[in-house]
Amino acid sequence: MKRVFSGVQPTGNIHIGNYLGAIRQFVELEKENDCLYCIVNMHSITVPQDPKALKEHTSDVAALYLATGINPKKSIVFVQSDVPQHTELSWILECNSYTGELSRMTQFKVKNKGRESAPTGLFTYPILMAADILLYDTDIVPVGNDQKQHIELTRDLAIRINNKYGETFVVPEGRFLKSGARIMALDDPTSKMSKSAENIHSRISLLDDAAKIKKSIMRATTDSEARIAFDIEKKPGLSNLINIYSAFTGKTVDEIVDDFDGKGYGDFKKELVAVTQDAISPIQEKYNEIRNSEELSVILKDGAERAGAIAEKTMKRVKETFGLCVHTHI
């Protein structure tokens, strides 16, 4: 059985792009793999956070993980900061990495654009990401294509240390999520749907109410042609909406185009509103049951203990490798 690790930051609500592009596939992965799903709250503090809001968002994301169908008895669901070995390993990896390889990270360049200086954590967070993965002897990391560089860095670090000190880490592989599930912003179909975009109608969050979902979809950017057809180049806005419809219903693009032959954009958008609400409603019901329950705390505590046991085993091996175990183990 392969081991899978994936993490999501607790910054705002999870949107349908996160769900369709990643989290829904996590439920499938746990059927045949040993999975760890982590709320990576320490990554969030690379930029200023309101402590109270961060704590709330961490619980929100944990509850949403469970509401989308992840089984905490089969998978390990936990919060990163509850397992201190993440930062312990991160320092060891940092001492075996180079500023040159970190400065080449595209995401750092994007996030640091226009700044004279950046928080050190923003520069080094790919090392913490590598620690998250290597700490659990991970075989598979399900990620989007935008994380490809970070997976390559993780692999490079593991191979570098293994070659220099002997077999210490499992070298993970990225499983890059299906490109068909790439959901774009509703107001700008050339950009990915984002939790941090200023326009709240650019996305649909899993916790949005029916009125917000309707408003966001009805306002979504299309074109002036008013003909239902799939063409990413010429009709990116409509094509994005068709992709969403397809992802929620399981219908092919051709089937959807045929179903709406002769109908206008208004008819299609109204139907997409209903499809989206039907898909999200059961998740919201489950979320409301879990979010403020004692069950959530119990699950996260249990997850941290199970993750911690694996992490401690790895760190014992790593410390031996680097000569950091001075005292005899009990």
Is the distance from CB of 132 to CB of 81 less than 8 angstroms?
Answer: no
Strand, helix or coil for residue 305: helix
Q: Is residue 103 part of a domain?
A: yes
pLDDT tens-digit series, residues 37-72: 999 999 999 888 999 999 999 999 999 999 999 999
Is the distance from CB of 36 to CB of 228 less than 8 angstroms?
Answer: no
Strand partners, 5: 36
* Residue 5: C-alpha distances to residues 83, 172, 319 (Å): 14, 10, 22
Shared-domain flag, residues 230 and 91 = no
pTM of the model: 0.88
Shared-domain flag, residues 70 and 146 = yes
Residues noted as catalytic: 111, 192, 195
231: domain range? 200-288
Strand, helix or coil for residue 169: coil
Q: What percent of the chain has pLDDT over 90?
A: 76
Q: Is residue 70 part of a domain?
A: yes
Helices H / strands E in the chain, number of each: 14, 5
Amino acid at 91: W
Tell me: pLDDT of 150 over 80: yes
- Report, as an integer, the average pLDDT of 10-26: 85
d(CA 73, CA 287): 17
CATH number for the domain including 114? 3.40.50.620
Q: Is residue 190 part of a domain?
A: no
Shared-domain flag, residues 273 and 318 = no
In which region does residue 316 sit, left (phi positive, over 0), alpha (psi from -120 to 50) or beta (all else)? alpha
Shared-domain flag, residues 153 and 262 = no
Is the distance from CB of 126 to CB of 150 less than 8 angstroms?
Answer: yes
What's the confidence (pLDDT) of residue 181? 56
Shared-domain flag, residues 154 and 59 = yes
Q: Which two tokens stand for residue 27?
A: 């439920």
pLDDT tens-digit series, residues 246-274: 999 999 999 999 999 999 999 999 999 99
Total count of domains within the chain:
2
Q: Which two tokens stand for residue 55?
A: 């704590």
Shared-domain flag, residues 170 and 206 = no
What's the confidence (pLDDT) of residue 314? 98
What's the confidence (pLDDT) of residue 120? 87
| Number of CB atoms found within 10 A of residue 43's CB | 22
Q: Is residue 187 part of a domain?
A: no
